[in-house]
Structure formats: structure tokens, C-alpha cells
Amino acid sequence: MKKAATVLKSNSIRVTPQRLGVYKLLREEKRHFSAEEVYAKVKNHFPAISLATVYSILELLKEKDLASEVRINLDKASFEAKKNEHHHFLCKKCGEIFDIHIELCPTLKRRETQGHSIDKFQGYFYGVCKNCRGK
Amino acid sequence: MKKAATVLKSNSIRVTPQRLGVYKLLREEKRHFSAEEVYAKVKNHFPAISLATVYSILELLKEKDLASEVRINLDKASFEAKKNEHHHFLCKKCGEIFDIHIELCPTLKRRETQGHSIDKFQGYFYGVCKNCRGK
DNA sequence: TTTTTATATAATAATGATTATTGGAAAACT
DNA sequence: AGTTTTCCAATAATCATTATTATATAAAAA
């Protein structure tokens, strides 16, 4: 895997420690983070970083297609490093988000439906996760 | 179709003019409303109603499964009267939300995946709607 | 390496959606 | 009617996100 700094540069993002910190966090821990969580984590390395900076870095990574925002939670956004198209599952007990890798049916893969042209499709699943089942 | 007041009663919701107003709006105009839009509309009939009341009524309708909340928009919730399971399309040009009625593939109809049990599936489509295409 | 220049950051403040509170009004029950 | 319960309006409070701005810093130029 390419070094994080190289990826940023090749996307014409000026490399700063804060940006590197946020991007590496998303790439290395392969889970979903709220902006607050990113802030808390990155703060360990850069105590002076501010929440607003975290938001602006996340926005930048989104624009450059290095991160994506998931809105399966009703109250706040989650962020993850960009991966192949996949879908999400939200556990209503523990609140954790899981990636769902499922091959979608042809109907959902169409790039057009009812006259609308489709750029992107996101599948959101809700239920109880395997850890919480039987508790 | 049953009268709105009857539906509320049979769901053990005490009928008040405000509740009736909100519920009838969602049932009769079959589109998606933000809380602000519901407020503006219902205000025509009940000038004294407050936004907080609108939120609390929407919450109540959701609990009783008479309305549902859609979060295809990143910044605010949309509400609609409960219908059969369907999916949503958000136009990135005009911001309008359209219902998408598509038969799901068997994979998505499973009530279980990767060990998680699934209550609900929501498909979100993003793109350019038929009205905005070719503009 | 130093200087320059543009951009990024920190530290607020501001905004906008949603939720909590509270006192008083209306409905249901006795 | 009197009592109790629930509802509602009118804030105020909260929480996520965005805007602002003065200072700091990375990359480019000298």
C-alpha cells in the first residue's frame, strides 16, 4: 500500500501533520468514526488540533474521494476511508456500524430508474448485530 | 381510506386538531416534508402551533408507525406518511426526493446477513432527476 | 538555506436543526 | 364541578456543523 503522504500529494493535497494524522487514522483503523471520534483520536498526537480543523480535513478528503461520509445514523455523520462500493448495517442495540458486502441485484445496479439517472446507490440495513443477538 | 381521526384513535393517540393537521398533511400530500415545511403548512390552519410541537407530533407518529423519517438528505430529516417499503432518490440539482418502487432481489430480502439480523432495508439513490436532466 | 507566498490551523463565534423544560390550557374521568 | 392527566406554546438549551479571522507553517522561489 502506498504511503499516506504519497497518496495525499498525488491528489494535490498539501501535506500537513494534521491531515496525515486524520487520513492515516481512517486508513489504518478500518472502522467508522464520527467527527468527534476522529478529533479525540488525533488529539492524542496533536493536542492543539481543533474540531473545526477535523471537519475541514474530512471535507477535503471527501472532495478528493479519499474518504466517504455515511449517514446511517440519524443524528450524526460517520466517516471512513474510501473503499469499494459496499453498504452499511446499523445495530439498534449497540449503535455500531458494520460494512455489508453483498452483491446487489441487477435492478439496483441500473444507472437509471423511473427517468432519473443514478450516480450512486447506498444500501442501509437496520437490525441487531451478531454481537448483540442473544443478549 | 379510513378517516384520519379514526386512524389516530385506533393507534391510541388522543386526537387533537394539531395532530390531525400534521397527520392529514402527510397523508394527503404524498410528498416528503422537512419539519420546517410541516410547520409552515400547518401554521396556515393553526397559527399558534410551535415548531417544537410539530417535532413532537412527528416523533409520536413515527413511534406509532404512521409516519417515517428519511435521512437521504445530509443536513435535515424528511418525513412522510407510512407506505409500503420503498426506497428514495435524491436529486443533487434540485434537492427533491422521489420514491423509488423497485422489487428487491432475494439477497436483500433475507432477514439475516453476516450474522446480523435485519429488520429493515433502505435503499438510497443519488443522481439527477428526470426533471433536471438535460437542463 | 533563507525568503516569499499561499494555504492551513486554532480558537472562537455563529448557525441551524433538534430536544428539553415549564407553566398553563384542554380533555377525560369521577 | 372538581380532580387528574395529558397536551401544547413558548421559550431556552443542546449538539452537530460551518464561518471567521488572526497567526502559523508548508511548499516554492531565490
* pLDDT (tens digit per residue) in B1-37: 788 999 999 998 989 999 999 999 999 998 999 999 9
Name the nt closest to B76 by C-alpha to C1'. Answer: C17
pTM of the full predicted structure? Answer: 0.88
Does strand D come within 7 Å of the CB of B52?
yes
Does strand D come within 7 Å of the CB of B73?
no
Among A101, A113, A130, select the one facing B100 at the smallest CB separation: A113
DSSP state letter for B47: T
SS3 B62: helix
Query: Domain segments of chain B: what residues?
Result: 4-81, 87-127
B78-82 long-range contacts (CB < 8 A, ≥24 apart) are B78/B32, B78/B33, B78/B34, B79/B26, B79/B32, B79/B33, B79/B34, B79/B35, B79/B38, B80/B26, B80/B30, B80/B31, B80/B32, B80/B33, B81/B23, B81/B26, B81/B27, B81/B30
What are B124's strand-pairing partners?
A: A122, B88
Residue A130 pLDDT? 95
Q: Measured between CA atoms, how close is B42 to chain A, in angstroms?
A: 24
CB contact under 8 A, A125 and B120: yes
Q: How far is the CA of B76 from the C1' of D17 (A)?
A: 12
Residue in B closest to A97 by C-alpha: B116
Give the model's confidence band at A16: pLDDT under 50 very low, under 70 low, under 90 confident, else very high.
very high
CB contact under 8 A, A100 and B120: no
Give the model's confidence band at A6: pLDDT under 50 very low, under 70 low, under 90 confident, else very high.
very high
Which cell goes with A9?
A: 500529494
CB contact under 8 A, A118 and B104: no
Listed as ranges, the nucleotides of chain C within 7 A of a protein C-beta are 7-13, 16-21, 27-28
Could you report the per-residue pLDDT of A51-102, keeping only the tens digit for each? 999 999 999 999 999 999 998 888 899 999 999 889 999 998 888 999 998 8
CB contact under 8 A, B105 and A104: yes
Domain covering A4-81 assigned CATH 1.10.10.10 in the classification = yes
CB contact under 8 A, A115 and B105: no
Residues of B with CB under 8 A from a CB of A: 69, 71-72, 74, 77, 89, 91-92, 98, 100, 102-108, 113-130, 133
Q: What is the mean pLDDT of each run of 10 residues along chain B (135 residues)?
A: 88 91 93 93 90 93 91 88 90 90 75 89 90 86
Among A102, A104, A127, select the one facing B117 at the smallest CB separation: A127
Q: How far is the CA of A19 from the C1' of C8 (A)?
A: 10
